[in-house]
């Protein structure tokens, strides 16, 4: 069975773990044994060629690290994956016996690089996982899948790792969840694996992003795992230990999109109740605007302006002061009052200046 089918039909989440970078033979072997034997991962990842933002950072051990990854996979029975960024990487990874190839975010943006890698892998049946491009362009992401499919590589999965933005207060790469959802809509046969490590850039935030991915029914997770995260040669702030990985996975609540007919009929009842209340809300709003119109008549007859700022400020203040007792946020109360006020002014304007269009 294809890897992508196994990811879709197997138990959620399908977990890929391992270090950001393969640093030493021992580090790769240790982490692989830990994540395999504590039962948390189904695949080992390790970067051997690292696309770094600035040239003086550690750029990976390169081809010499491939046997470390392959041997760790053999020792534990886990399939292995590395990132390739050009034709030579693809050929070397294949030759070394890596099981699955992944395309990094900085490569997906470049159709020439994607095409070159697709051509280099053509004729094999190696599974390929494609990270989203760094920019939020779902067409470009889809185009990369099409380039692989066109050369006969059809065992394809997606990795959602978020999108670059300047100076985000919380995330390293913003998730823009609507984009992977759009990919799913267009290419439903492609499983989506969320990479919370590169989205958050911060191990403290991994859990909430993993939970969100599960609640959106993503099929898998790719989580950077290192024996000693603080000392990692790349992405130190976002990596977790094998125990940390296990704890995250154990904490996840897995919900399902399906529900029984019992639940469906209860859901329908509650939705009917909500509709009745909404009907009342709209009848009330309509009644409220009729009253605004009578105010408009009175103001017209007495030549008073529509807006009495102080009166309006008091009205809003009163509702805001009570927002807690309504169990509504102040923000919502403010937005609702502003919307009602705007509509009321529109009604009064029509009454006071009858020749003007509404």
Tell me which residues touch ligand PEP (CB under 6 A): 20, 47, 51, 104-106, 131, 161, 198
Choose among ligand PEP, Mn ion, none what residue 296 binds, the Cβ cut-off being 5 to 8 Å by kind: none
CB of 263 to ligand PEP, least distance (A): 38
Choose among Mn ion, ligand PEP, none what residue 116 binds, the Cβ cut-off being 5 to 8 Å by kind: none
Choose among Mn ion, ligand PEP, none what residue 105 binds, the Cβ cut-off being 5 to 8 Å by kind: ligand PEP
CB of 132 to ligand PEP, least distance (A): 8
User: Quick one: 118 or 134, whose CB is closer to ligand PEP?
Assistant: 134
User: Apex CA 87: angle with CA 85 and CA 88, to 5°?
Assistant: 95
User: Quick one: 76 or 238, whose CB is closer to Mn ion?
Assistant: 238
Which residues bind to Mn ion, rule: CB under 5 A?
Answer: 20, 235
User: Quick one: 79 or 201, whose CB is closer to Mn ion?
Assistant: 201
Choose among Mn ion, ligand PEP, none what residue 131 binds, the Cβ cut-off being 5 to 8 Å by kind: ligand PEP
CB of 100 to ligand PEP, least distance (A): 13
User: Quick one: 158 or 223, whose CB is closer to Mn ion?
Assistant: 223
User: Quick one: 24 or 308, whose CB is closer to Mn ion?
Assistant: 24
Choose among Mn ion, ligand PEP, none what residue 104 binds, the Cβ cut-off being 5 to 8 Å by kind: ligand PEP
CB of 59 to ligand PEP, least distance (A): 11
User: Quick one: 16 or 153, whose CB is closer to ligand PEP?
Assistant: 16
CB of 198 to Mn ion, least distance (A): 6
CB of 332 to ligand PEP, least distance (A): 36
User: Quick one: 65 or 120, whose CB is closer to Mn ion?
Assistant: 65
H, E, C per residue of the chain = CCHHHHHHHCCCCEEEEECCECCCHHHHHHHHHHHHHCCCCCEEECECCCCCCCCCCCCCCHHHHHHHHHHHHHHHCCCEEEEECCHHHHHHHHHHCCCEEEECHHHHCCHHHHHHHHHHHCCCCCCEEEECCCCCCHHHHHHHHHHHHHCCCCCEEEEECCEECCCCCCCCEECCCHHHHHHHHHCCCCCEEECHHHHHCCHHHHHHHHHHHHHCCCCEEEEEECCCHHHCCCCHHHCECHHHHHHHHHHCCCCCCCCCHHHHHHHHHHHHHHHHHHHHHHHHHHHHHHHHHHHHHHHHHCCCCCCCHHHHHHHHHHHHHCHHHHCCCHHHHHHHHHHHHHHHHHHHHHHHCCCCCC
CB of 196 to ligand PEP, least distance (A): 11
């Amino acid at each position: 069975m294809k890897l992508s089918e196994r990811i879709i039909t197997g138990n959620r989440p399908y977990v890929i773990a391992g270090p950001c970078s393969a640093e030493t033979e021992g580090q790769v072997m240790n982490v692989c044994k830990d994540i395999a034997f504590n039962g948390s991962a189904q695949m080992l990842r390790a970067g051997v060629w690292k696309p770094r933002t600035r040239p003086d950072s550690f750029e990976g051990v390169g081809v010499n690290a491939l046997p470390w990854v392959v041997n760790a996979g053999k020792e534990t029975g886990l399939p292995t994956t590395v990132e390739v960024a050009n034709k030579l990487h693809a050929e070397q990874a294949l030759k070394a016996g890596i099981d699955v190839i992944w395309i990094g975010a900085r490569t997906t943006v470049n159709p020439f690089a994607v095409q070159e890698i697709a051509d280099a892998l053509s004729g094999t049946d190696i599974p390929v996982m494609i990270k989203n491009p760094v920019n939020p362009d779902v067409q470009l992401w889809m185009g990369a899948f099409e380039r692989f499919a066109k050369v006969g590589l059809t065992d394809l999965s997606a990795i959602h790792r978020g999108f670059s933005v300047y100076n985000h207060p919380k995330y390293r790469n913003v998730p823009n969840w609507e984009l992977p959802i759009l990919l799913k809509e267009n290419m439903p046969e492609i499983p989506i694996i969320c990479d919370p490590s590169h989205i958050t850039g911060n191990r403290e935030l991994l859990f909430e992003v993993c939970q969100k991915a599960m609640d959106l029914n993503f099929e898998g997770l790719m989580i950077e795992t290192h024996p000693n995260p603080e000392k990692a040669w790349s992405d130190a702030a976002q990596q977790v230990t094998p125990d940390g990985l296990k704890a995250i996975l154990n904490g996840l609540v897995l919900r399902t999109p399906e529900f029984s007919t019992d639940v469906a009929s209860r859901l329908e009842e509650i939705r009917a109740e909500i509709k009745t209340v909404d009907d009342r809300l709209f009848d009330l709003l309509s009644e409220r605007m009729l009253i605004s119109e009578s105010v408009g008549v009175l103001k017209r007859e007495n030549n008073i302006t529509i807006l009495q700022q102080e009166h309006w400020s008091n009205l809003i203040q009163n509702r805001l002061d009570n927002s807690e007792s309504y169990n509504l946020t102040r923000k919502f109360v403010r937005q609702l009052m502003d919307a009602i006020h705007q509509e009321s002014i529109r009604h009064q304007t029509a009454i006071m200046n009858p020749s003007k269009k509404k």
